[in-house]
Amino acid sequence: MRDMRGEYKVPGGKLVAVDVEVEDGRLAAVSVSGDFFLEPDEALADINAALTGMPVDAGVDQLAGAVNGALADDVSLIGFTAESIGIAVRRALGKATGWDDHEFDVIAARVLDPALHVALDEVIAREVAAGERPPTLRFWDWDSPLVVIGSFQSVRNEVDPEGARRHGIDVVRRISGGGAMFMEPGNTITYSLVVPTSLVEGLSFERSYSFLDEWVIEALADVGVNAHFVPLNDIASDRGKIGGAAQKRFVSGAVLHHVTMAYDIDADKMLEVLRIGREKMSDKGTKSANKRVDPMRSQTGMTRDAILQSFAASFAKRYRSSESDYTSEELAEAQRLVDEKFATAEWTHRVP
């Protein structure tokens, strides 16, 4: 029997801490605390009692269900939830982890074929799941134009083949869901964050998006952008949408979370290549020639390289991290995946 402690900071809310012991495979001496608000006060004892005796292998949903089932209808949890208590319990038991439990590799932007970056998402995720590489944040840079479509998007619904041919733009399908990314050299800011599943233990997909985007909201503030998260997967400022995220959870034990933000996109060209872009731009009333989508450039006044460097510094300031790079084996495996999967018609057109 030993005393264990777990903490969880609710995104946009309060800190929840749980001290707990284990006796005969069940929770004992449970004590929930934090800077949250709870009315009435007596409900805290009901929460502790509900968790006491729960099996150590109970998941977040089961723990949260026990808490909710023990609370009267007039109880108010302010700044936290039964789910957040469950996550804190799982962290105390070592089943879930927090940011401070990890040291991250950070890979600076390196110019590669953009299809190679798509493949590296899969390579790095496999390694993180297997414990062969620490959680990794890597920034993209690329040397040729590409449309990267979401795993479940229809090629013919998203891409105008004539426009793509005219501008020499290929199409690659990525492994995560979400929308199409129109990528020319220097026109977006894109990064991938790969973490162990334990970091998002107990979080729904929607909550995990905001949780994994917390650091970049702070990084945007560092470059002068007052940004906020917009469910399900968008990041916006006071002047509109900046970018969007996509995510994939691997059963092997890793989560891929990547974000693309518009730096300086040629909207006219994008409208000729992306069908869905025509609808979106029409909704925004964008009709003038040579219109550019440039929230990161116009709102910061900074070069793209300067923003990338600032983002990396913001992440390093917030979390334990060290500079890293791709290994020759990782690049070779990514190239193999490009040749055998991502560059094939079978993969690209698996949703016609």
What one-character-per-residue DSSP string does 181-210 give? EEE-TTSEEEEEEEEEGGGGTT--HHHHHH
Q: Is residue 133 pLDDT above 70, yes or no?
A: yes
Q: Is residue 234 pLDDT above 80, yes or no?
A: yes
- Identify whether residues 143 and 38 lie together within a single domain: no
- Identify whether residues 111 and 36 lie together within a single domain: no
d(CA 85, CA 92): 11
Tell me which of 1 and 11 has the higher pLDDT.
11
Q: Is residue 284 pLDDT above 80, yes or no?
A: no
Q: Is residue 283 pLDDT above 90, yes or no?
A: no
Band of pLDDT at residue 276, cut at 50, 70 and 90: confident
Tens digits of residue pLDDT in 169-198: 999 999 999 999 999 999 999 999 999 999
Considering 92, 125, 148, which residue would you say is the last residue of a domain?
A: 92
H or E element that contains 158: helix 155-158
Determine the average pLDDT of the residues in 2-24.
92
- Identify whether residues 267 and 233 lie together within a single domain: yes
| Domains: count for the chain | 2
d(CA 348, CA 244): 22
| Tokens standing for residue 226 | 């007052």
- Identify whether residues 166 and 66 lie together within a single domain: no
H or E element that contains 237: strand 234-237
- Identify whether residues 301 and 188 lie together within a single domain: yes
Q: Is residue 203 pLDDT above 80, yes or no?
A: yes
Q: What is the pLDDT of residue 278?
A: 54
| Tokens standing for residue 78 | 């302010």
pTM: 0.88
The domain containing residue 70 runs over which residues?
4-92
Q: What is the pLDDT of residue 279?
A: 53
Considering 42, 64, 92, which residue would you say is the last residue of a domain?
A: 92
Tens digits of residue pLDDT in 142-171: 999 999 999 999 999 999 999 999 999 999
| Tokens standing for residue 306 | 């300067």
- Identify whether residues 158 and 241 lie together within a single domain: yes
Q: Taking the CA of residue 84 as centre, how many other CA atoms within 13 Å lie in the half-sphere pointing to its CB?
A: 23
Q: What is the pLDDT of residue 11?
A: 80
- Identify whether residues 167 and 246 lie together within a single domain: yes
Percentage of the residues of the chain whose pLDDT score is greater than 90:
90
Tens digits of residue pLDDT in 334-344: 999 999 999 99
CATH number at residue 11: 3.30.390.50
d(CA 90, CA 5): 10
Tens digits of residue pLDDT in 243-254: 999 999 999 999
Q: What is the pLDDT of residue 269?
A: 94
The answer to whether the Cα torsion of 220, 221, 224, 230 is positive or negative is: positive
CB-based contacts of 58, cutoff 8 Å, min separation 6: 66
CATH number at residue 271: 3.30.930.10
